[in-house]
Structure 1
Amino acid sequence: MKQEELIEKAALLHDIGKVYQRAMHIRKNHSLIGKEVLMPYFSDGYEEILRAVKNHHRTELEQFKGPDNDISYLIYEADNLAAASDRRTSVPEGVEDESSGMRFIPTTPLHNIFNVFDQQGAIGDTAYPLRGMDAEGKMLYPVLQEKIQAPSAMYQKITRELDLSFKQRSPAAMTINELLQLLEATMTYIPSSTNTSEVSDISLYDHQKLTAAFAACMYRFFEERGITDYKSYCYGNKNAAMRNAPVYVLVSGDMSGIQKFIYTIPSKGALKSLRGRSLYLDLLLENIVDELLVACGVSRSCLLYTGGGHFFMLLPNTKKVQDILRDYTINLNEWFLRHYGSRLYMALAYTPCSATDFSKDGGGAGNVFRTVSHTLSQEKLCRYTEEQLQKMFSPQSMYNKIVDDKRECAICHASTSAAELQPYGEANVKDEKTQEQACRACNSLYRLGQRALQGSIFCVRTEKSAEAVPIPGYGKDLYLTAISEDQLKQSVVPKRLYIKNELTLGSEVATHLWMGDYITKNADGHPLEFKELAQRSGGDTESSGIERIGILRADVDNLGTAFIKGFSSQYDTLSRKAALSRNLSLFFKRYINDVCQGYTADTKLGFTLFQDEVKTARQVHIIYSGGDDMFLAGAWDDIIEVAIDLRHAFQHFTNGKLTFSAGVGLFHPDCPISQMARKTGDLEEYAKDNPQKNSIALFGEVMKYNACTEDQQTARYTWDEFETNVCGEKLGFLQNHFVMNGEMTQNKLSIGKGAIYRLLGLMRKSAQDAGHINLARFAYTLARMEPAHADRIKKQCYEEVRKQLYEWYQSETDCQQLITAIELWVYRLRDKGVWNQ
């Protein structure tokens, strides 16, 4: 085992004794328990790991007689830095010190990271039930803190899982990435500290992972400078200077061009095309991260966050790392120019920092993230090197060189050799001559999406194949394919594997990828195309409802500001930044699947627009979800309903301290995807422009004119206003007081389509012409609904309708809400195939 791997394993396992201590209520120091648990696996040749686990507290180091270069000193300092040592108590866990007012309560649950998030929220402090994380487990919502404990029986279950995993594959034989996956599966909801004087909102998984990051960085920093006296720098008289030294670099990367790359596709076979491109970008980013980490001599322990085309990592501040960062950025964008022109671009920036910089005394982690974010913004303004720019404008360069018989790809519009063009989409179809002709890359992305709908294993190799999609490596080209388990067993050993939505151990597995991949299938198990989804409005193909695709695009409000400034100086630590990022990623990459399946907070039924419907699983496809945004397509009514479910889930998940805004558009299923994405994106921006944010804009199109004219606006509401006033009050009122012609009821008014549209037209006219209210025409339209005087029940219903609608009509706010409610009602009442032209 290499020294750097030995150090990271010691760091990742240094607190494992806490799990066994709390499971058995053993009154013994957890560091000693950890050594005893690990001894069967690290006894021969790995005594350094056992020593580091046993001696990672000052009380043990005071008695330690080991050499000055023992890694115990590294792990001790890394543990302190990860735990924000300026606020850490001096009492080891397992030993109560009543005189100091500190107690360790082993049943303390993991507190929600959003409890100390410095924004106003209506929900009280919450915590998570104790359990392991597995692929089948449903979304774990936090509950009120005073109502929950972490029982020893659950700790015992987790220790059994650890013991079984270690017996199947020794931790000494595991790769760092395997060990990280195992710790995530078992320790994500275990608090690192149960000290009553501390906030127990950092999981044991996050703490041990960050400890490994600090240890790996310190080791590489020392190695380059020839420092072997770990004792002096990590424990002794040089420790204070060491903490103020720029030992680390915080690195940030951001990929541009994602939206256009994903949505520039034809409508035919849209799901496979969208899924293939979205998945490709996710895997491309993960592979870029892995290539960079390997080149810098560290592991995924140093990866703080990845998702949504963005990543943060903590790396050692060495000349080698700085050279790699500079060269990799140039080479990476050279690769993008060769394969995709200027459509994709990766900006990369870093800032040197010390351990003190991440502490309260140094200004907190937020300052470091603010600095690197500013540097990244500057990098985006100067995308390419001078040499790359010269090539881009040279007709004879590799980017622009003319190929004989060159033609344009019908999908990405890149010029390519006619010999390389192939029919786009399914292979071996009968009407190949009528298919659009696409380049090899676009066809490979389509087929990647096709295979990804059935499988979960993605393989990166150095060998090129017909089905593979190119991805950038460090100094070389790599190739990505989706394969089955049988194909994996029969093939050569891959460079690395990515597993979707499964916690799977294996030496080639780089990591698992939580991925929002919920799709709606037909009775034969095949994913529905957009036209079939549109036909599911109202619940199924037999129900009434306009045949329209609903598109949802949503994005967290002010996340950049919240991420940098969301924690007060008291809580602004690197641990909390990492935990916040991981939790948000977990929601948008994994738990979104559960919400689409109908699993909502407190087992409540999902939201429904219409009283005659009870739904569970939604008729939607997740096209993209990651980082802090999402793109969903589905039956238009299910899209609106799942948007409200997601809003409720997110509100519960974040203690009401973060919000998102969304746009919802309705489209004919044959509308180009790029137009759906653009128009719904405009609606999303319009919602985010609402002063309160936390809003939804829907149905209409936001038209922008010159400065001399006003924008043409569409319906925009806060979520509470839309759910309570539009759907609950006004749409509910319409359903309770009206039925369409031909339906028999004693207590509702019968209304025809013509009358509905007359009402709608008058209200739209009033909304468009500010201050122009034609009360006479409105009153006349209402009067025509009056039933016969002998029908006392319907007469009473009519009086309620006349009074309420007349009142709403005179209020600009209520009138706009009623317009939207009627539009929803009309869309639901339309017969399929009749009004859908």
Structure 2
Amino acid sequence: MTLRRNVVTGALLHDIGKLIYRSLSGNDIKRRWRHQEIGALWAKEAGFPDDVVQIIRRHHFLRRNDPKYAELSPEALGDEKLSLVNTIYVVAHADSIAAGMERERVGGDGYFDPECMLSPVFKDVVLTGKEPVREKLVWKPKKATDYNYPKAESEVAAGISGLYRELWQELNGELMQDPAGIAEDTLLLLLQKYTFFVPEHTYVREELPDTSLYHHLKTTAAVAWCTYQYLVANGTCWEREDLRAAIGKEDEQRYLLVGGDLSGIQNFIYTLASKGALKTVRGRSFYLELLIEAIVSRLLAALDLPRACVVYASGGGLYLLAPNTDTAKETISFVQQEVNRWLYRQFGTGLYFSLVAEPITAAGLARGLGETWYRVGQKLSVEKERKWYREIKEDYATFFAPRPAENTCPICHQAGKELVPYPGEEEFLVCPFCAQMVRLGQVLPEVKVFYRLPAGEKVAPRASDLVLEVLGISYLFTREDYSGPAAAYYLVENPWSLLRTAEVPAWNFPTGSYFTCKELDDLVKKGLGAERIGVLRLDVDRLGTIFSRGLPREKISFARLNDLSERFNLYFKYYLPALLAREPQEPLLPVHRNRKLWLNLVYAGGDDLFLLGTWNDALEAAWQIYRDFRCYTGHNPSLTISGGLAVAEEKIPLYKLAELAGEVEQRAKDNGRDSFAFFRFAFKWGEMGGRQAVGEYSTLQEFWSLLLKDIALDEKGNPRLQAYSKGFLHDLGRLAAAYGDGENPEREWIVPRLHYLFSRAMERSRAYEESFYRPLLGAVMNERNLKHYLPAAVAVVDLITRGGGEG
């Protein structure tokens, strides 16, 4: 355990001197030192074990004629400390692999700039047929807690050294609380908090560095520990052999890229009756994230891996790095079987976990990870086509034995388990799991942190507490302070703010949820006009291609793919709820200006989301998310989202609402992606809004700005027409739809009828002739506008003005 602690902690801190160096003033004498000297001095003064100090000090190989060879070279320690020397070698080699993945070699026309900033990895993604991002974008050096968006380098170039100084001072303050006893997870969390937007190196050529210091440190720790495990499993003696040559081999398939995927998620979350739908689906969507975390915890414990080895774990999927040993492969197979047996006992065949692995060399980690990532994806696809094959083969009789049909749960429709009272309603009986999910949905909005309880530890929960057991791991959810025993804790509300001493493992767990109403029938009443629910589904286009082929071949590295996955996940789980809580900026519909959006973000994570809201607020939310996501990804044309909005009555069961939204979302995908669909229409996002060609009416936003220009609100808050009547709106929509019907035999008469409609309306309302009717008539006379934009624009305005009357 001490050796693992030294390897992982030393690897995670090996380049800490780079951040300290950036924080120094220009005349500080330490600016003349090397970063490993600066880092080692700090670690020694902080009280880290001497082996960790030596790893930080000596993690670079030096030539014998280097003036600091004796002071900084690992070989200079001598044979009497072979265990430590080999540990330094393995970290140094892992650092070299990671650095080789992440940056160009020093030399040529480059230069060192301590104030250089991190270029977003999003900028590097270029899909076939798409233009690259040419603008020089950077992340401002901030904490991960800040909502950071890429900016043009020229906008943020001033005062950078002061920002680095603040980051280091705050990180140092948190590390100094218990440097010798800090848990691996807690250390990784703090490094994520403070080095997520710090570049891994300061060597600048034409392009700025695009790998964060955090992902470099994390990658180094993962590669170092997996290398150690591989070598020990293959018979090397760590304490008595000089292993530099063995450690340095790059052509052996020492590593496994492990991929996992949970099937059945959609049905698990959404195939529910209406009773308590919002509470139940909130609990179930969170439960799936907890299930993936439990699987990750189980894998890490069984494989003896640190959390640094986890590339990605969210949205029903996971990727991690493991050593390519016989024991590891057997363990991976065993854990998959163990998980699926447990899932079958709990949920029948509703959920299935696929787990596969693909070997890779050190050279492959640096230069060929994209192909390996692709092969893992292909293996997962094959595995998902063979669900339950192993279980059926091993125990056919049990698997196909008749299952009890009595005691069917009215919410999830599962049978065979003793029913219990629905929380708060003694006469309404449900299965124990649905009762737990309702309880979880009730308690989640008030949970700031939850705890993983020690194995075998008996904790007496309070009446308001909830204990969930997942894969044999017990998790405690409480609204109140808890000071009892904990194997680890997860930060929900403030994902990077430690609540316990540093030796207790901590990790962030933002939920990706945002709720404004507890029940659907309350939510639907908050809308404008028609009382309808809006169901929105959005996801990132071509995500598999982005990871396997989106980056240039020379840039497809462990650290960069790690970076991409973490930043996507962080957007949906952390940035998105904050966005939805704000009033809309440059709203799609003018009636939403200075108005709260009534939305329930049921699920967000990985690369997609599922949202319920009033129909008009869900429409606005889609536009706000699109604009914000474009800013977050540096307006890269290769990184797009598509979505679908279904509008329906709230009495429709949740599974049907989800199904309808899925069908509409598919219409957006069929529109060439980078699209949004609602009702029977599908548009490119650029057709929805954002253009500023005044008077041309080339977007729906421009039509809505005109059609809703003189809307007033009645005493109930419903929009009230002023410039035109409901009859005019309905006639306009009917004529536009008739013109769009290419087989309509009376199509040539549509334009004269439109002129007649407008002339009659202008006679009745001369006050709005110049401000409304003539601009709208001019726009309508454009054939594309009449066919493409007007039917959708009128349909939305018709719903908004339901029940609001007219002037």
TM-score (norm. length: structure 2): 0.88
Give the aligned partner of residue 503 of structure 1.
Answer: 496
Aligned residue for 1:315, secondary structure, equals strand
Verify: 1:732 aligned to 2:728, yes or no.
no
Pair 1:23-2:34 in alignment: no
- CA drift of 1:598 comes to 2.4
1:769, distance to aligned residue in structure 2 (A): 4.9
Q: Which residue of 1 aligns with 2:683?
A: 717
1:651, distance to aligned residue in structure 2 (A): 1.0
Could you tell me how far apart the structure 2 residues matched to 1:587 and 1:807 are?
A: 42
Instruction: Provide the residue aligned with 1:372 in structure 2.
Output: 376
Specify the alignment match of 1:628 in structure 2.
607
- CA shift, 1:643, in A, is 1.0
Question: Which of the residues 559, 563, 586 maps onto 2:570?
Answer: 586
**Pick aligned residue for 1:478 from 462, 473, 479:** 473
> Cα deviation per residue 1:501-533 (whole Å; 9 max; x = unaligned)?
42244444451112222222xxxxxx4422222
* Whole-angstrom distance in 2 between the partners of 1:640 and 1:688: 17
1:517 pairs with one of 508, 513, 516? 513
Retained in 1: the 8 A contact 2:74–2:89? no
Tell me which of 136, 139, 144 is aligned to 1:128: 139
Q: C-alpha deviations, 1:294-330, integer Å up to 9, x for none?
A: 1101110100111111111001111111111011111
CA positional deviation for 1:735? 3.1
User: Residue 422 of structure 1 corresponds to which residue in structure 2?
Assistant: 420
Instruction: Return the alpha-carbon distance in structure 2 between the equivalents of residues 287 and 423 of structure 1.
Output: 28
**Equivalent-residue separation in structure 2 for 1:86 and 1:109 (angstroms):** 15
- 1:83–1:575 CA contact under 8 A, matched in 2: no
Change (3 A) 1:326 1:233: farther
Give me the whole-angstrom Cα distance separating, in 1, the residues matched to 2:728 and 2:105.
73
Distance 1:734 1:231, change over 3 A: farther
Corresponding residue of 2:554: 570
Q: Match of 1:753, as an amino acid?
A: K
SS in 2 for 1:669: coil
Match of 1:55 among 48, 55, 58: 58
Task: Report how far residue 349 of structure 1 moved.
Answer: 0.5
Aligned position for 1:116:
124
Query: Residue 831 of structure 1: CA displacement?
Result: 1.8
2:356 partner SS: strand
For 2:33 and 2:522, the matched residues in 1 are separated by: 62
Matches within 5 A, 1:282-301: 282-301=289-308
Residues 124-171 of structure 1: CA distance to partner in whole angstroms, max 9, x if unpaired? 22101112223xx3x21110123323622222212221232123222x
Counterpart secondary structure, 1:408:
coil
CA distance in structure 1 between the aligned counterparts of 2:178 and 2:774, rounded to whole angstroms? 72
Q: Deviation at 1:407? A: 1.6
Cα distance, 1:630–1:35 mapped onto 2, change above 3 Å: same
- Asked whether the equivalents of residues 103 and 209 of structure 2 are also in contact (C-alpha less than 8 Å), the reply is no
- Distance in 1 (CA, whole Å) between partners of 2:772 and 2:168 is 67
Q: Distance in 1 between matches of 2:711 and 2:74?
A: 81
The Cα RMSD (Å) is 3.0
Residue identity (%): 27
Q: In the alignment, which of 206, 229, 247 is matched to residue 215 of structure 2?
A: 206
Q: What are the Cα deviations for residues 65-94 of structure 1, in whole angstroms up to 9, with x where unaligned? A: 33343211111001011112695546xxxx
For residues 451 and 802 of structure 1, the distance between their equivalents in structure 2, rounded to whole angstroms, comes to: 51
Aligned to 2:177: 168
Q: How does 1:83-102 map to 2 (within 5 A)?
A: 83-84=99-100, 88-89=104-105, 100-102=108-110
Residue of structure 2 aligned with 1:651, choices 617, 621, 630? 630
Matches within 5 A, 1:779-794: 779-780=752-753, 783-785=756-758, 786=760, 794=768
**Residue type matched to 1:192 in 2?**
E
Q: Secondary structure, in 3 states, of the residue corresponding to 2:126?
A: coil
Q: Corresponding residue for 1:358?
A: 365
Do the aligned partners of 1:749 and 1:794 also contact (CA within 8 Å) in 2? Answer: no
Measure how far apart 1:416 and its partner are.
2.2
Amino acid aligned to 1:64: A
Q: Give 1:103 shift.
A: 1.9
Distance 2:97 2:261 in 1: 27
Shift of residue 218, structure 1, vs aligned partner: 0.8
1:569-617 C-alpha deviation (Å, 9 max, x unpaired):
2212221111111111111111102211228xxxxx6132443542364
Question: Cα offset for 1:378?
Answer: 1.6
Aligned CA distance change for structure 1 residues 817 and 795 (closer, same or farther; 3 Å): closer
CA distance in 2 between partners of 1:309 and 1:829 (Å): 41
> CA, structure 1 residues 587+787, in 2 after alignment: closer, same or farther (shift >3 Å)?
closer
Provide the residue aligned with 1:705 in structure 2.
Answer: none
Q: 1:66 aligns with which of 78, 81, 86?
A: 78
Q: Secondary structure at the match of 1:111?
A: coil
Spell out, residue by residue over 1:410-438, the C-alpha distance to the aligned partner (whole angstroms, 9 max, x if none): 12222124xx21233x32x4xx43x3x21
Q: 1:2-27 CA distances to partner (integer Å, 9 max, x unpaired)?
A: 21121100000001111111111422
Q: Does 1:323 align with 2:326?
A: no
Amino acid at match of 2:781: E
**Cα distance between partner residues in 2 of 1:330 and 1:789:** 76
- Aligned pair partner of 1:258 in 265, 270, 284: 265
Superposed counterparts of 1:146-545, under 5 Å = 146-149=154-157, 151-170=160-179, 172-197=180-205, 199-228=208-237, 235-236=244-245, 238=246, 242-360=249-367, 364-388=368-392, 391=395, 394=398, 400=402, 402=404, 406-417=406-417, 420-424=418-422, 426-427=423-424, 429=425, 432-433=426-427, 435=428, 437-461=429-453, 462=455, 471-473=469-471, 477-486=472-481, 488-489=482-483, 491=484, 493-501=485-493, 502-505=495-498, 506=500, 507-520=503-516, 527-538=517-528, 545=529
Relative to structure 1, the CA distance from residue 739 to residue 101 in structure 2 (aligned partners, 3 Å threshold; closer, same or farther) is: closer
Q: Does 1:608 align with 2:587?
A: yes
**CA drift at 1:814:** 3.3
Instruction: Provide the rounded CA distance (Å) in 2 between the counterparts of 1:590 and 1:166.
Output: 24
Aligned mates of 1:511, 1:798 — CA distance in 2: 56
Q: Quick check: 2:587–2:624 contact (8 Å CA) kept in 1? A: no
Other structure's SS at 2:299 match:
helix
Q: CA deviation at 1:674?
A: 0.7
CA shift in 2, pair 1:243/1:318, >3 Å? same
Structure 1 position 653, deviation (Å): 1.4
Deviations 1:751-799 (A, max 9, x none): 3323322332233234345454544366446525525769865555686
Alignment deviations for residues 18-41 of structure 1 (CA, whole Å, 9 cap, x no partner): 111111142210101101101034
Q: Tell me, what secondary structure is at the counterpart of 1:110?
A: coil
Distance 2:167 2:323 in 1: 34
Match of 1:828 among 767, 789, 800: 800
Helix, strand or coil: the match of 1:444? helix
Q: Is the CA contact 1:84–1:573 (under 8 Å) kept in the aligned structure 2?
A: no
The residue that corresponds to 2:790 in the other structure is 818
Task: Give per-residue Cα distances to partners, 1:479-506, cap 9 Å, x unaligned.
Answer: 33412342x22x4x23433221422444
Report 1:667-682 matches (<5 A): 667-682=648-663
In structure 2, relative to structure 1, the CA distance for the partners of 1:510 and 1:256 (3 Å cut) is farther
Alpha-carbon distance change, 829 to 334 in structure 1, aligned in 2, over 3 angstroms: same
Q: Say which of 664, 675, 681 aligns to 1:683.
A: 664
Structure 1 Cα separation of the partners of residues 372 and 239 of structure 2: 26
Q: Secondary structure at the match of 2:407?
A: strand
Residue segments in structure 2 that go unaligned for 5+ positions in a row = 63-71, 692-697, 716-720
Change (3 A) 1:87 1:782: closer
Q: 1:537 aligns to what SS in structure 2? A: coil
**Count of aligned pairs between the two proteins:** 758
Q: Partners of 2:706 and 2:242 in 1: how far apart?
A: 72
| In 2: Cα distance, 1:393 partner to 1:656 partner | 56
SS in 2 for 1:64: helix
Letter in structure 1 aligned against 2:38: I
Residue in 2 that maps onto 1:708: none
Distance verdict in 2 for CA 1:803–1:618, change over 3 Å: closer
